[in-house]
Amino acid sequence: MIGMILDDQSFEQDIRELLMAFYPGESFVRGEMPEGEQSLLIRGRTGEASFELTVQDIEKGIVKSSVTEADFSDRFETKNRIKRMLYKMLRQITGIELPWGTLTGIRPTKIAMTKLLEGWEEEKVRGYMKDTYFTSDQKIDLSLEIAKREMDLLSSIDYENGYSLYVGIPFCPTTCLYCSFTSFPIGQWEKRMEQYLEALFKEMDYVAGKMTGRPLDTVYIGGGTPTSLSAGHLDQLITRLEKTFDFSGVKEFTVEAGRPDSITEEKLQVLKDHGVTRISINPQTMKQETLDLIGRRHTVDMVKDCFFMARGMGFDNINMDLIVGLPEEDVEDVIRTMEEIESLDPDGITVHSLAIKRAARLNMFKERYGDLKITNTPEMIEVTAAYAGKMGQEPYYLYRQKNMAGNFENVGYARPGKACIYNVLIMEEKQTIIACGAGTTTKVVFPSENRLERVENVKDVEQYVSRIEEMLERKERLLANWND
């Protein structure tokens, strides 16, 4: 337990997030706690032109204090000064070097891309990330490599006038142990799916009307697990999409086939018939014991069977999602998984470092799962990168999440010509993405003003269906300004 006493709450989130990187899994409370309850105490005091921090490690009996100059009218610079000061103190106490340094945001490549687009030389960007955030050389290299690749991928995108479309299918066969995404067991909705689709189609009709005359660049159907829908409902959904929106300029059409236990030949044929250009078949791991533990109802053989079936039907851009840091797995397990993946030879892999959110069962039921060993190391990450390279795949997008095991990142790899444009757009926030469905978030970009606004749909499916008119009103308030 970590206690925080700050007289200036405006920096609480920044301090908390950096602490979480050094002390993953710890809980935080404000103010003093009973003796013995806390392992760390943070005190922050704001002066007229300074900020003082004291970090007390109760268990080790270590106290570190430091002061930094601060210009409170410049929050960005002051925040970075405080985080650098705190980082140095925590590094001394823990002996830990974080690969991303003080960076706690989810889009580190956005820093590199922004600077490159402003005309900075690579070495200047490198020095900036090193001096400002203490980022390691390896992660700076990765950020620059991906930023340059992203710039090339997005060179044909119309940021000002175009948009992308996300359609959310918030249903899954079961809920995985680590998952906190918006998803509901498909069994509860199979007989009422028409209700959800009716509300979804109403939202799609509204969006198509508002987007008339604007080019649609990419379409992404995600979840949940879209292929948890029946083949009939899947066909109904995509048929309606094609009738509602102008697909003539669409550069990429992705459907997350996702879980192998939801994939059938009939469903894949629906996707093929509708011209879907990219699918994901997601094993997460190729260790059967782990699949059983985390609540996946598929087997390793089912992954292989689904992959070969899709290949045989002509799908030539298949991505596979993997998770590093799953409970009870070590580097040898990761190697075995990557060997299995290499034998399948997919067109892309997305490597996730396990992030345990508050809403995940793994976090909610600690009395049941608290003894599970969760390990993520640089060696495990390096194994996945090496195998991606052996398969001819290059890193093309990257993002981070809070509570990630090992404080690493999620990286998407793909063969040349097979990268997912939508993934880059959603991470770099360069283009408006309109999202339809329960639990989705629309992001509207105002390029000339260099700002972004969000509007969310309710997560609960029952609420989404009954309040669909309210969802349209939320979008109307935002899109009315964007279209002006």
What CA–CA distance (Å, rounded) separates 441 from 164?
Answer: 13
What is the residue extent of each domain of the chain?
2-94, 108-153, 163-470
What CA–CA distance (Å, rounded) separates 254 from 257?
Answer: 9
pLDDT of residue 177: 54
Q: What are phi and psi of 174, to 5 degrees?
A: -150, 170
In three-state secondary structure terms, 301 is: helix
pLDDT of residue 359: 36
List of the chain residues with pLDDT < 50: 178, 180, 357-370
Kindly provide the residue ranges of all beta strands, DSSP E only, lying in 208-363, ordered along the sequence. Answer: 216-223, 252-258, 278-281, 318-324, 348-353
CATH number assigned to the domain with residue range 163-470, chosen from the 4 options 3.40.50.300, 3.80.30.20, 2.40.360.20, 3.40.50.280: 3.80.30.20
pLDDT of residue 404: 61
State the Cα angle at 369 between 367 and 373, rounded to 5°.
130
Q: Is 2-94 a domain of CATH 3.50.50.60?
A: no
- pLDDT 10s digits, 202-251: 999 999 999 999 999 999 999 889 999 999 999 999 999 999 999 999 99
- Asked whether this chain's domains 2-94 and 163-470 adopt the same fold, the reply is no
**Token reading at 197:** 């689709």
What is the residue whose two structure tokens read 């987007």? 211
**Token reading at 227:** 């292929």
How far, CA to CA in Å, does 349 sit from each of 106, 303, 382, 391, 428? 19, 14, 14, 10, 19
pLDDT of residue 367: 43
pTM value surpassing 0.95: no
